[in-house]
Amino acid sequence: MQNKVTIHSHDGNTFDAWVFYPKTDLPAPALVVIQEIFGVNENIRSVCENLAQTGYVVIAPDLFWRQERNIDITDKSEAEWKRAFELYQGFDLNLGVEDIKSTLAYIRKDKKCTGKAGTIGYCLGGRLAYLMATRSDADCNVSYYGVEIDKMLDEAVNIKHPLMMHIAEKDKFVPLDAQQKILSALNKHKNVEIHVYSGVDHAFARIGGQHFDKEASHQANYRTADFLATCLTKKQA
């Protein structure tokens, strides 16, 4: 089941988000799914639906609303890529984190949620998931091929809850020197688990995308599922 909801931002405005509920086992832990540069599009909604089917309450906020509401584009045309990069360049990262924090607070109060909640993000969303690990009290966070994280490693000292990172070895947006900075800074962090996928490019988990890799995607998603279950559903010793 999918619902469109209104969330109040920290600065007195409102924005939209889409909530997906599992069919059984409620209340359930929640996940905030953080969009790529294409908005809350069909791919992101599909990710949400799949996660809901595995037993989570899932919410995807519209993070480009300060520029244009309800962006829903694809990676299939040059014009859409151009628009996506315009939106990325105009995006205020700090306000985006605040909007995700507002989304997290909203879904934790949902009667169908247990109160435990994490985030999972892709590309731009992967960077934001990292920042949610450094700036919020989310119970756990998952970053898929997050961009420009190497520029924000000084914040890693603030990571208090588990963070899983998936890095594409051949990522054209995260070159090897950036990857090495991330690995050097975070590999020994007690709350961070990093996986590097050899031979794959950015967005290897985007079904239907140019660089989709079935094997790497399956492996990353399997690791994520186990990680989320440990953090959000299993009783801790």
Residues forming the active site = 171, 202
Q: How far apart are CA 90 and CA 108, in angstroms?
A: 29
Angle, alpha carbons 234-235-237 (nearest 5°): 125
Report cis status (omega within 30 of 0) of the bond before 29. Answer: no
Q: Report which DSSP code applies to 199.
A: T
Helix, strand, coil percent values for the chain (each to nearest 5): 40, 25, 40
Task: Find all residues with CB under 8 Å of 53, minimum gap 6, and list them.
Answer: 22, 23
In the chain, alpha helices (H): 42-53, 78-89, 93-108, 124-135, 176-186, 214-228
Q: What SS3 class is residue 39?
A: strand
Question: Taking the mean position of all CA atoms in its chain, how far away is CA 178?
Answer: 20
